[in-house]
Amino acid sequence: MIMTICASNNRNAIVDGYVGLINHFHNKKELIAVIPGLCKPEEFDSEIHSLVFEEFRDKGKIASKIYCLSFYMRLAQLAKRETVEGIFIYSDSEWPNLVHLMIPTLRKIKTTVFIHDPKHHSGEKKIIRFIRRFAYPFYARNATCILSYEKAKSEIIEIHPIFQEAKLVSVRLPSMSVMEFQDLRHVAELHNAAPEYDLIFYGRLEAYKGVDLLLQANQYLHMTGRAVRILIIGGRGELKEEVKKAAAQDPSITFLDDYISNRALAEYIVKSRAVILPYRDATGTQTIQIANYYYKPVIVNRVGCFDEYVIEGKNGFFISEMTPEGVGEAIYSTLEQMDGLDYNPVNIRETFDALFNMDNIAKEIEGIIQG
């Protein structure tokens, strides 16, 4: 029996990724899945041996810590009763992971931890960095650590030398099933949706994601007589007002600052020619996977996992210089290649299947947990 754990009081991309991943595990009858309270039972495959729901939400800071400790003590009892031989932690919160590895009964069980952020990035809160100072040494000594890209091994060792002796494995983040709608993919495959936008950006409107560079690149393209239609979707972030102001002054920019459903986002991706991710800083991502699922190339900087998740001219294109001019030229070059014979959408499907196949990645992670 194995136990998988995702501790979270939010419904976010990591929780969505966890749901998709464990639903693709091959030996579900030997799986105990610990589930965030905001998830619903019907989201999970009926073959899974048992679901254990956690309730971190709507508790104060002190109460949540006490609940976390008591919850993991109950998990320890369950693991002993069910003869759990492997534990897989896939969470966006370091505190529950730290509590887990402090409980002797759980620490004795072979544990695998998926480390989502091997290095700090500028979008993180300081408290997260502080907790990692305590959590990461526990991971390094007591767990097999999965990182989402190969270069992350050297990155995490450089920042936390204790990982030099740790068991480090790299596994790409898979496609995100919650964002996959087969009917919309079929529309994209047949090119039945007339593109309304040349570019789409979606996510938090933060400087580390290069949103300001995108706006400046758009101005550069205007100045050189090469206007493009840009859709920006994001309800939160430090640059929200700047984006709103730019959209009000420039009709080539459409800005949606409300929450939209996964399907609505997918529809907008299908209606766009390419996805732009001009991040200054990054670790792992599933944004590329979402874009490629709908046959859309990405325009990216060489940071974090992007160098390993994007093959130039196959499923995306790289920005050579992170300046307004450099981003602008990358945009123009990408759209120009998509118009010509240098770009073949079939390449995207082949690359997507080779890099991000959920079944293959789930099987690889199962092997690491049980190995």
Which pLDDT does position 67 carry in this prediction?
Answer: 81
Q: Phi first, then psi: what are they for 231, rounded to 5°?
A: -110, 125
Of 55, 53, 143, 59, nearest in space to 98 by CA:
143
Domain annotation covers residue 192: yes
Domain annotation covers residue 369: no
Domain annotation covers residue 370: no
The residue type at 1: M
With tokens 């494995």, the residue in question is 169
Residues 146 and 192 in one domain: no
The angle that helices 13-23 and 358-370 make with each other, rounded to 10 degrees, is 80
Residues 34 and 151 in one domain: yes
Q: What distance in Å separates the CA atoms of residue 352 and residue 290, rounded to the nearest whole number?
A: 10
Could you tell me the two tokens for 304? Answer: 């974090």
Residues 132 and 196 in one domain: no
Residues 37 and 117 in one domain: yes
Q: Read off the pLDDT of residues 65-82 as tens digits, 9 standing for 90 and up.
A: 788 888 889 999 999 999
Domain annotation covers residue 74: yes
The angle that helices 240-249 and 211-223 make with each other, rounded to 10 degrees, is 20
Residues 214 and 237 in one domain: yes
Residues 166 and 182 in one domain: no
3-state secondary structure 147-213: ECCCCHHHHHHHHCHHHHHCEEEECCCCCCHHHCCHHHHHHHHCCCCCCCEEEEEECCCCHHHCHHH
| 190, HSE (Cβ side, Cα atoms, 13 Å) | 7
Residues 153 and 239 in one domain: no
Domain carrying residue 110? 2-170
Domain annotation covers residue 47: yes
Domain count, the chain: 2
Angle at 91 between CA 87 and CA 97, to 5 degrees: 65
Phi-psi region of 170 (alpha: psi -120 to 50; beta: other; left: phi over 0): beta
pLDDT tens, per residue, the chain with 371 residues = 999 999 887 788 899 999 999 999 999 999 999 998 889 999 999 999 999 998 766 666 677 778 888 888 999 999 999 999 999 999 877 777 777 777 888 888 999 999 988 876 655 566 666 777 778 888 898 899 999 999 999 999 998 999 999 999 999 999 999 999 999 999 998 876 678 999 999 999 999 999 999 999 999 999 999 989 999 999 889 999 999 999 999 999 999 988 899 999 999 999 999 999 999 998 889 999 999 999 999 999 999 999 999 999 899 999 999 999 999 999 999 998 887 655 677 889 999 999 999 999 999 999 999 98
Domain boundary among 170, 186, 213: 170
Q: What distance in Å separates the CA atoms of residue 257 and residue 232, rounded to the nearest whole number?
A: 8
Residues 117 and 252 in one domain: no
Domain annotation covers residue 368: no
DSSP class of residue 43 equals G
Domain annotation covers residue 362: no
DSSP class of residue 19 equals H
Which pLDDT does position 168 carry in this prediction?
Answer: 97
Residues 103 and 227 in one domain: no
Residues 161 and 251 in one domain: no
Domain annotation covers residue 322: yes
Q: Read off the pLDDT of residues 114-133 as tens digits, 9 standing for 90 and up.
A: 998 887 665 556 666 677 77
